[in-house]
Structures are given as structure tokens and as C-alpha cells.
Amino acid sequence: MPTVDQKKCIGCGACASVCEEVFEMKNGKSHVKKGQEKSKIPCIKEAIESCPVDAIKA
């Protein structure tokens, strides 16, 4: 289940650009979209790898 650590996120937007189905930018931080809290789609892994501060867990 994807989560974004709001304290770590620096708002670079990388996760939302590789996995827009799950992540969206709000107020300068990434958030898991409503209804996607249990998503297991493959781009989540790409988002985790693309995050420069290791803020995404799944």
C-alpha cells in the first residue's frame, strides 16, 4: 500500500510524473490519490525508485 512521508517529501514531482495514476501534487507535496491507497500497480515501484529522498513506501 503506497504512502508518502510528508516530512521527507521535497515536492520534486518525480513520483507524480512516473505514476500519475497513484500520486498527485498538492500544496507542494506528493499525496496518494483517493481510492489508490491499496493500489499495487507497477508504476509505484518506479515512483519509489525515482524519489530522491526515499519518501515513498509500498
| Nearest C-alpha neighbor of 49 from the set 37, 38, 36, 58 | 58
Instruction: Compose the 8-37 pattern: x for residues touching ligand SF4 by CB under 6 A, - for all others.
Output: -xxxxxxx--------------x-------
Is residue 56 part of the contact set for ligand SF4 (CB under 6 A)? yes
Q: Binders of ligand SF4: how many residues, by CB under 6 A?
A: 15
Cα separation, 11 vs 33, whole angstroms: 15
Report d(CA 27, CA 42) in Å as an integer.
26
Q: Which residues bind ligand SF4 (CB under 6 A)?
A: 4, 9-15, 30, 50-53, 55-56
